[in-house]
A and B are shown apart, each in its own frame.
Chain A
Amino acid sequence: MGAALAALMMTTPALAGAADDLKLPREHIDLVAPPFVHPHEQATKAGPKIVEFKLTVQEKEVVIDDAGTKMWAMTYNGSMPGPMMVVHEGDYVELTLVNPETNTMPHNIDLHAATGGLGGGALTHVNPGEQTVLRFKATRPGVFIYHCAPEGMIPWHVVSGMHGTLMVLPRDGLKDGAGKSLHYDKVFYIGENDLYVPKDENGKYKTYDSVGESYSDTMDVMRKLIPTHEVFEGRVGALTGKNALTAKVGETVLIVHSEANSDTRPHLIGGHGDYVWETGKFNNPPERDLETWFVRGGSAGAALYTFREPGVYAYVNHNLIEAVELGATAHIKVEGKWNEDLMKQISPPSPIPPAKIGAADPVAVTR
């Protein structure tokens, strides 16, 4: 049977994975690196199609902070997180997973949006020098993570960077709880990652000649559950300064936030979540006007927000120790005209005026 299958595949080498049993139109999408997302329709009148994506696994050494700390990352398409794939409910995702010969380890992919086969993990084990094609139907609208899940080494591959997000949009687009359509001008795709980099006896971060050599020490740090870095897009400061995200007053952004391992609590300092799908699944009505939302480890959430005031916004994991000390901070530079109705500095910092005689002593009142 196996030989027969192999022979059959040999006869159609150019069409590997191009199963035409569905008789549906096909679309091939070139993925883009986070925090950006490939062009897509927010709602579609077209019928279901087969959407082709390709993810290539890259094992590589990366720098994860401004001090130059290095770690061996495992990635989909070279980025942490892996790129976001966007389809519509009812579409078929046809994913080619490539593990180039230059890698050292077997990899696979478990897509939380997929049904059966360990999310695809059971059918996609590829050794270096192999590739595989998996097709699954996107039956549930929402943002879902995907991650590597090789037997015995799942958490290590995940916290080394092998995770990403698939967004399945309702065919008629996003809605508020009352059925009104919601739109966004752009998507900010934030992939949060807890990192566990081993240190030497002097407290300096260690480096390794290969990903394999880093395994045992890294596992020791991981088992203590305290990350050395908590980052967006694979590096402390990846989305700040010259790489800060940008928007304009009046623009609406969909912030998709994934964390494949530990819990996080996104918060936009100076803004809100106008509509938030905290659990990331679009068949549930979005919550309104949130201050902070909770993204469970192993899931993605989505928040829609229209900027009303210009300035620099910090988008953080509101475990502020993780945000400020460990790195889970992004900045959004918003251009536009200041709205004094929303905020105005009535009196800049200046000396406290002397107390008026006869005025109530506030201390006395609280006593």
Chain B
Amino acid sequence: MLLLMKVKTAMLAGALAAPVVAAALAPSPPSPGPVSATLLASTSFTYRAAGDFSRGGRPVEGPLRELRLPTDLRIMKRQVTVAEYGRCVDEGACPRVAVPSGAQDVPVVGVSWHDASAYAAWISHKTGITYRLPTDEEWTFAAAEKARDEALPLVDPADPAQAWIARYEAESSRERPSATTPQPGGTFGTNSKGLDDLAGNVWEWTDSCFVRTSLDEKKETVTNVNCGVRIVEGAHRTYMTDFIRDPKSGGCAQGVPPTNLGFRLVVEPSWSVIASTVRGIAKLLRGT
């Protein structure tokens, strides 16, 4: 426990130093070009926990929390474009995906979580800066007022059909983006944190896994973590099998599918590599 406290202190110190360190360590832009990332100062924000939650065996909404990221967040202003992704394809590090319109300056879509992760690994290697997909918490913080909380009204927990119909109606009432194909960066506006096109017509992969949690009076117990399903964020939050590139609604599902799957990356501050090493050591020590 004491050790954990120490780690937290280290993280805090890292957080303070992070922007400076990241700037100092950034090498001169190599061939892929600089990625326009925006630094967001960590402030508290409201976050609806993702995944499936139950209380007493009945489904309930995830709890609403006040969160604060442990550090400032450096995140891409725009989604990765067709042209940017294409360079990774050309170098054989990313799978080729269909580009129906042929436009190069629009967000790349039709990418799976694996494709997005391959791009993050490739660009990290090229630049020497660690890029990764954001966590769902990070995305929600960055999206600010563009993040949508779709909590449903409380219904009779003994009647599964009521919750089911309520969800169906919520999904049915979602507005469909007017443009169906990816649009040039900036089309869907800039949010209060200076980031473009959040919750436009592209849904973005996050690195967060699907979790199932049971709640009782005192504690939360995560009963299942499925990292084959990742959280996808955009005009609404959804859960997506990681190899899917082009999701659809249909069959029993309803409403607007997250038709265009794309992504933007965050910059992992270099201090946090150290921090995660410390966390790893802490874990090892706790394990003994």
Report which A residues bind B (CB closer than 8 A): 66-68, 202-204, 236-237, 240-242, 244, 269, 309-312, 314, 316, 320, 323-325, 327, 329, 331, 333-338, 345, 347-351
Contact = CB atoms under 8 A, between A and B. Distances in A.
B161 A323 contact: no
Contact of A331 (B58, B248, B254): B254
Given A203-B100, A269-B252, A338-B161, A68 B180 contact: yes
Nearest to A347: B57
A112 B58 CA distance: 52
Interface string B200-226: 000000000000101000000001100
B100 A310 contact: no
Contact of A242 (B160, B164, B173): B173
A316 B172 CA distance: 18
Contacts of B161: 309-311, 334, 336, 338
Contacts of B283: none
Interface in B148-203: 158-162, 164-165, 168, 171-173, 176, 180
Contacts of A312: 164-165, 168, 252, 254
Nearest to A316: B251
B260 to A, nearest CB: 11
Contacts, number: 79
Contacts of A66: 176, 180
A310 B159 contact: yes
A314 B253 CA distance: 9
A349 B224 contact: yes
B250 A338 contact: no
Contacts of A240: 172, 254
A303 B171 CA distance: 29
B255 interface: yes
Tell me which of B100, B158, B223, B254 has the highest count of chain A C-beta atoms within 10 A of its own C-beta.
Answer: B254
Given A204-B100, A314-B251, A333 B158 contact: no
A329 B224 contact: no
A296 B251 CA distance: 22
A349 to B, nearest CB: 7
Contacts of B100: 202-204
Nearest to B158: A338
